[in-house]
A and B are shown apart, each in its own frame.
Chain A
Amino acid sequence: MSDPILSFTDVSYRYPDGTNALNNCSLTIRRGTRTAVLGANGAGKTTMFLHLNGILRPTGGHVQWEETPLDYSRRGMRELRSRVGLVFQNPDSQLFSASVREDVSFGPMNLGLVKEIVRERVAEALLAVGMAESADKPVHNLSYGQKKRVCIAGVLAMQPEVLVLDEPMAGLDAAMQTELTAVLERLHASGMTVIIATHDLDFAYGWADEVIVLQSGELLAHGLPAEILQQEDVQDELGAAPLVAEITRTLSLIGIDLRDKGYLPRSKNELLKAITALSRQEKTS
């Protein structure tokens, strides 16, 4: 197991209006992993994310970076925010400039980097999200999905070690979701730790190394998707189970146990492949 990169110890947060958004949450996120954070609306996902980036300071407990409690001084925050990049859900609430290139340069300029390096980083970040050709376009002429990618580029240009995305798939069509998944896959392959809040159980089941399930500000479950998402209380809270897991379970009930045959499908494609391979084996035997 890799080293912890960010962890919560008994973190609680109460908003000034009295809402308890997080209650005694303790969890650890390890370097280089893909984590999906699940939970109903208002379960505390966004509040949790704002803690990862030091924007909110817990009213109880503490957040640690590599096992050292966060330093909430100006300098400490500067360092943390250059390591943890946070992408919010609504692109229109986080794009500052009307020019794509300018907006992506915002983060690295804030880090005080020299212009040549900023220019390089902006180009790299736009290339990473497949938006290099739109660098000189005005933001208001982009589609929703393109705006989302510009937001991600804006954070990537700061070269963070952890990328935190709040519901990146919301509002994207299937093709754009596939593209974004590919972008995330590339980033993960380059060693980045990726944390995503999502409502898409199928995506979480197929993509994540670990899932965190929040329920009314409390940690309901944390662990491997194949285990956690099969739990009854988790399924009750989320209102559903991943389709692939459901089909695998149903198949096992009618005597076709994919697990016994060595298949552990986590996505639609893996499931289809497993079924095809099994039916071929049946025919040959």
Chain B
Amino acid sequence: MLIEQSAYTNRWRRVSPAAKGTFSLCGMIAAYAAAAPTTACGVAAILCAVTVLGAGIPPVRYLRVAAPALLFLAVSVLSLAVSLKIGATAGDLSLHLARTELERVAHVCGRSLGGLAALLFLALTTPLSDIISLLRRCKLPDTLLDLMTLCYRTLFVLSETVHETITAQSARMGHATMTRSLRSLGGMIANLSVQVWQRSQALHLAALARNNDGALRFLEPDYPDSPRAISLAVISGLALIIMAVSLP
């Protein structure tokens, strides 16, 4: 929801998604191409700064959105850097920090941070429906995009239903104890499965009623000033890549 909120309210909401997508892609390439881990981290910092200062995303919100990914990265990096060493005798167990591996770990970490910052830039500045229509223009298969469209829409319907169900269950003491909670959860899952089936039927009828015969077709959003925004994105993106490659 935090991502949603930013995507619809940021300063660059009306900037062409193609431009934002291009810049984000360049950011990812730059992070991957960076020779040194510090350069990759630098790319990440630049992308982060552009998102926060340029698009006007509040820094606290940015950190909250990035937190789960950062936590995941920290765990992965730790497991890469530290290995468990089992000695010859029983009970001889030691943690081992592989010095030779450290450089590789730093590289992976830098690239991941850069990739994360590039993706967050796109996700926090562009609503998903705009990203989907951008992907449609990139000729991604229709089936995949239709699934994305429906998933994105039904996600909110589903979360609303889940909230309503939990409220209704709580009102009848459904979550009073751990056992009851578990039972209520089971009931909700059963109920939701039936609802999902019914809703898919209803959506199918609604599609038929509106003359649909297969792929979901929508009007692409129209963004003013696209060529200028795209050329700006290309120039700054290329600059980022050149910087990443040329720095030692």
Contact = CB atoms under 8 A, between A and B. Distances in A.
Interface residues of B, number: 32
Contacts of B209: 53, 55, 81, 85-86, 88, 94, 155
B172 interface: no
B206 A110 contact: no
Given A97-B129, A158-B210, A92 B221 contact: no
A147 to B, nearest CB: 11
A122 B211 contact: no
Given A81-B210, A99-B127, A93 B202 contact: yes
A182 B70 CA distance: 53
Contacts of B182: none
Contacts, number: 106
A78 B210 CA distance: 9
Nearest to B154: A92
A103 B199 CA distance: 17
Nearest to A81: B211
A35 interface: no
Interface residues of A, number: 41
A96 B205 CA distance: 12
Contact of B203 (A74, A96, A105): A96
B176 interface: no
B222 interface: yes
A119 interface: yes
A266 interface: no
Interface stretch (B15-23, B51-59, B145-153): B145-153
Contacts of B203: 93-94, 96
A122 B152 CA distance: 22
A88 B206 contact: yes
A119 B153 CA distance: 22
Contacts of B208: 55, 81
Contact of B218 (A53, A93, A97): A97
B211 A74 contact: no
Nearest to A93: B202
B196 to A, nearest CB: 12
Contacts of B163: none
A281 to B, nearest CB: 51
A118 B218 CA distance: 10
A97 B205 contact: no
Contacts of A94: 202-203, 206, 209
12 contacts: A82-B211, A92-B199, A93-B203, A98-B153, A102-B219, A105-B219, A106-B217, A108-B219, A115-B220, A140-B157, A141-B8, A154-B210
Interface of B: 4, 8, 127-129, 133, 149-150, 152-153, 156-157, 160, 199, 202-203, 205-213, 216-222
Enumerate the 3 nearest inter-chain pairs by beta-carbon distance, A residue then B residue, closest first.
A105-B219, A94-B206, A93-B202
